Amino acid sequence: MIRHIVAFSAKDPGDIETIATALRRLGEIPGVRDFRVARNGKRDALSSEMDVVLEATFDTWADLETYKAHPTYAETTEIVRPLREARTVLDYEI
């Protein structure tokens, strides 16, 4: 299985919920085994710049690529990209 984790920081703190709401739509894409979006609890004293985290699980790397090619992914990117300051991605096998 593949774990896909993406963390986002917002340019404007007022946009954090808009980003999270938009990202939640990605869980509806076929092929997603497990999915969650949450606001960062910001409990780490050395790293608290990220505001929202997305975590998804896929059966295969091909399923992850299909997810990224889905129209809902493109629509979500159009909403989130202008609102985010930074984006970090971690993809790994579990």
Residue pLDDT, tens place only, 29-51: 999 999 999 999 888 888 888 99
Non-local (6+) Cβ contacts of 39 within 8 A are: 16, 20, 51, 52, 53
CATH fold for domain 2-42+49-93: Alpha-Beta Plaits (3.30.70)
Give the whole-angstrom CA distance, residue 65 versus residue 68. 5
Residue pLDDT, tens place only, 8-19: 999 999 999 999
H helical segments located in 1-94: 16-24, 61-69, 71-80
Q: What is the pTM of this model?
A: 0.91
Residue in the structure block whose two tokens are 């869980």: 27
Q: What is the pLDDT of residue 47?
A: 81
The answer on pLDDT for 73 being more than 90 is yes
User: Mean pLDDT across the chain, nearest whole number?
Assistant: 96
Q: Residue 31 — left, alpha, or beta (φ > 0 → left; ψ -120 to 50 → alpha)? A: left
Higher pLDDT among residues 5 and 48, named by residue: 5
For the chain, domain boundaries: 2-42+49-93
